[in-house]
Chains A and B, each alone.
Chain A
């Protein structure tokens, strides 16, 4: 078991560009979450999938953000027309019925928008 992986680990982009992040959850986990974390803050919930269905989406997730989990395995988070305020660590986590409420986090993707 390799745990939750995220790619890339770091991303630097210019304002206005689009970026896409990938998350590969633990293989048997059917639930997947995206969070955003800025310096000195705890992770903020963005969205949640059960299998391929996106069941909840935070108000933090503006129209520029979209997430998918097409086959119920890996997930992508896309940010269109990035803004400097999007600079943050984007964390992915997964869980399953077996793990209950425990979420297993990936290492995160650190985004810097110049």
Chain B
């Protein structure tokens, strides 16, 4: 199965700066990669999906890149706000089928006012 690495240490940044989170994976290259946001005590919320043939995807202040050579995705939040503080999870499908996904442990982002 896929092994996913996300920085388990919390990321603290100043409000207004760009936050960059990293997701590295081993083994096979997935057909797509997803990013979810999770607030304490709540279920994950889908943010963005990027496919293997896409290098970059944007949605408002969010940007995701996908480098299949490096086996890495970067997740950027520009002009960060305290409301962006949450844990961000990277998720990839298993090789056996698109329906089963493996989640990383997530990176906790804290935006300081």
Contact = CB atoms under 8 A, between A and B. Distances in A.
What secondary structure prevails in chain B residues at the interface with A? Answer: strand
Contacts of B98: 101
Interface residues of B, number: 24
Contacts, number: 56
Interface residues of A, number: 27
B43 A48 contact: no
Interface in B24-66: 32, 34, 41-46, 49
Interface in A83-114: 91, 93, 95, 100-108, 110
Contact of B104 (A42, A101, A106, A107): A42
A101 B34 CA distance: 9
B34 A102 contact: yes
Contacts of B17: none
Given A41-B105, A45-B102, 6 more contacts: A33-B99, A35-B103, A42-B89, A101-B98, A102-B34, A107-B41
Interface of B: 4, 8, 32, 34, 41-46, 49, 89, 91, 93, 97-106
17 contacts: A31-B99, A33-B99, A40-B8, A41-B105, A42-B89, A43-B44, A43-B89, A45-B102, A48-B99, A50-B99, A56-B99, A56-B100, A91-B44, A93-B43, A101-B98, A102-B34, A108-B41
Interface of A: 4, 31, 33, 35, 40-45, 48, 50, 55-56, 91, 93, 95, 100-108, 110
